[in-house]
A and B are shown apart, each in its own frame.
Chain A
Amino acid sequence: MEELITGAEAMARALKAEAVDTVFGYPGGYIMAVFDALFAYKEEVTTILTRHEQGAVHAAQGYARASGKVGVVLVTSGPGASNIVTGAADAMLDSTPLVIIAGQSGVDKLGSDSFQETDLIGITQPVTKWNYQIRTAAEIPWAIARAFYIAREGRPGPVVLDCSKDAQAEKVDFHYEKCTFIRSYQPYPSINETKIAQAAEWINSAERPLAIVGQGVQLGHAQEELLQFIEKSGIPVATTLMGRSVLPASHPLNMGMVGMHGNVAPNRKTNECDLLIAVGMRFADRVTGDEKSYARQARIIHLDIDPSELNKNIHADLAIAGNVKYSLPAITALLEPSSHTQWVESFRPLQQLEEEHVISKDLHPQGDAMTMQEVVRLLSELSGKNVVCVSDVGQNEMATARYFQASPSRLYVASGGLGTMGFCLPAAIGAALGSPKAEIYSVCGDGGFQMTEQELGTIMQYNLPVKILLLNNNYLGMVRQLQEIFLEGRYASTRMQNPDFVMLTSAYGIPARRVDRREELQAAMKEWIAAEGPSLLEVQVEEKGLVFPMIPSGHPISDMILEK
């Protein structure tokens, strides 16, 4: 039986067929029809109205990263569409599955600079995994099915659909078929058995092996496989910023984080190991520093699902394309149980060094002023077992990455590749919806908070239990740190006169409190954590705090600065 429905209705049904339960969006003329169609399904599909399209995309990112599902965004054409660019670029670099649907002007007006027409396909080409302009209603089911398949499968990423209003209005005979195959796209490259055997052989004969693991382990749901791999092989492990949550911070073989503000031991040991096993990571420049001096002495095995990442930044002696969910256990099966006690022990003096020169100063400062690091560590200790902790960008991010004790059930979420200030608050909104049973923390700096603070309105409207920790240093701290260290303290445009954040938050009906003395911190934080619903805790931290260790950009990873 033929049933003709509008394209907008087809869009709504297609989203339901993809089991979408939450859509983040902002309406406008050329997408109203789809909002209208979704309105009829509001029991099944919740539409969250953010306060800015950038907020909608970051919220969808937070939702996707907390739930493992595809985040969905619905915006209008023109400025609505161009406002999604930052979020798409962020999701592209951090491999976050998104389907972003934007309205577009009528087909006969395309290319004529008509009202609220932007060339979204042209604009988003470099920052999407796939994009497509829908001009007829008949294409809608096909395009939606394909969009979800591409966003989700293989290395995830953002997809943009640019949907003409004509396609939304036209009638179509709706049939939905999920996409399971695209001839030109191999999401899961087949794993080369010979290389697996070779990898196992190298690992079995290595004396000083080190594994560096990234978000790929999380995206591939391979946390268990990672655990088996390291426990059988006894190999010490470090994580990237994006991979913080794949292994409990407390695991005895977890040596911490690598990279620019990573831990001393794994950074130094990268340049001492005889075998480096990189799992689901992409050798970003923030991890490698100067590539020419990176792990020169070591053989490198690189496991990743995206073949274009292999031999891209760092040459791998053995590059194994494929899903780490399968390549890792295939290697584990061929390993001889081992422990590298002496090698693991050799990390201790470096840990001790960092403890003395960095960690103890961060956590037990001499002065009255609080450090971001001690505040974050307290949050880490007081928070529960099931947590999503989102940070913003800057010093607050590095303090959180280093001192929030993450694990697979205590997710740490950050904007890694793009480093987008303002990510945190909307991403926490999405995380609250994607992981409704978890405690949700949003750790922001005073600068980044003000980039998307209007999303307090979203939190208010949907009463989302987002706990905001505002680490206020009255500076764009991370840039100020660079000015202090490299530009003789010329603080060009980094000092900020801030509003009264407590009043600002209260204006949205969200409870807020400011703490500027250490004696009050613990009690205030306990109260803030225990509160139902949203709440903001502003902590006045040391204005000129510094984040160490630090590898100056482009320097070898051995060039770590530990203190001023």
Chain B
Amino acid sequence: MDTEKTLYTVTVYSENQVGLLNQVTIVFTRRQVNIESLTVSRSAIPGVHKFTITAYADEDTIRKVVNQIEKRVDVLKAWYYTDDEIIFQEVALYKVPTDSLLDTSTIEEMVRRFNARILEVNRTYTVIEMSGHQDEIQALYENLEPTGILQFVRSGRIAITKSTVERLSDFLAEMERRKICISR
């Protein structure tokens, strides 16, 4: 079973209503799909929130999940994507002891190779930041591990479609047109 599962990225646009996060996650829970990562924030359109959710599922299940999410009254639109249809990124922060970092000779090479940044250095610890795909973030983690990582945190995924059509704007325009028809 597990082998048939693909990592899907679900994007949901909703009105800014209280309790929506719960409404969206409930659909995953009911269908026994575990959420791998979840990011919620304001979108570029005022009043519209965007959810980016990743989950392993087969396509039939994820399609049903997306349909059932979209059915919620306050949800504007929901879509699902495979990795090749989107450009996506995660951010990670690594807190390492400054001492041990100074002991290794590879720090510069690592920062360059992973395109990482150093955000904070003091006598006790150093905070390194990097953004990338999950495997890249994992690779830097493994590279830093010998230095003794004090804390590590990664964000959920954020994603943008590769498509040249802006489906949400099209949808909103269509709904505006309907509104005008109704008020006539």
Contact = CB atoms under 8 A, between A and B. Distances in A.
B10 to A, nearest CB: 15
Contacts of B30: 126
Describe B's contact surface by its main secondary structure: helix
A186 B73 CA distance: 9
Contact of A130 (B67, B74, B76): B74
Interface in B1-49: 14-15, 17-19, 22-23, 26, 30
A321 to B, nearest CB: 11
A153 to B, nearest CB: 10
Interface residues of A, number: 22
Contacts of A349: none
Nearest to B76: A184
B175 interface: yes
Contacts of B63: 311
Contacts of B182: 180-181
A183 B15 contact: yes
Contacts of B67: 307-308, 312
B159 interface: no
B75 A184 contact: yes
A387 B87 CA distance: 61
A130 B74 CA distance: 8
B118 interface: no
Contact of A129 (B26, B64, B68, B73): B73
B117 interface: no
Nearest to B181: A181
B59 to A, nearest CB: 12
A181 B73 contact: no
A185 B22 contact: no
A130 B20 CA distance: 11
A183 B179 contact: yes
Interface in B114-159: none
A183 B18 CA distance: 17
B26 A183 contact: no
B90 interface: no
A308 B70 contact: yes
- Interface size class, chain B: 20 to 34
Interface in A85-128: 121-122, 125-126
A467 to B, nearest CB: 39
A523 interface: no
B68 A181 contact: no
Contacts of A133: 18
A125 B64 contact: no
A216 to B, nearest CB: 15
A182 interface: yes
Contacts of A184: 14-15, 73-76, 175
Given A122-B22, A125-B19, A133-B18, A183 B71 contact: no
Nearest to B13: A184
Interface string B62-99: 01100110110111100000000000000000000000
Contacts of B68: 308
Which of A122, A129, A133, A181 has the most chain B CB atoms inside 10 A of its CB?
A: A181
A181 B174 CA distance: 13
Contacts of A311: 63-64
20 contacts: A122-B22, A125-B19, A125-B22, A125-B23, A132-B17, A180-B183, A181-B179, A182-B73, A183-B172, A183-B179, A184-B15, A184-B75, A184-B175, A185-B74, A186-B178, A306-B71, A307-B70, A307-B71, A308-B67, A308-B71
Which 6 pairs of residues, A with B, have the shortest CB-CB distance? A308-B67, A308-B71, A184-B76, A130-B73, A185-B73, A181-B179
Interface of A: 121-122, 125-126, 129-133, 150, 180-186, 306-308, 311-312
Given A125-B26, A130-B74, A181-B179, 4 more contacts: A121-B19, A133-B18, A308-B67, A312-B64
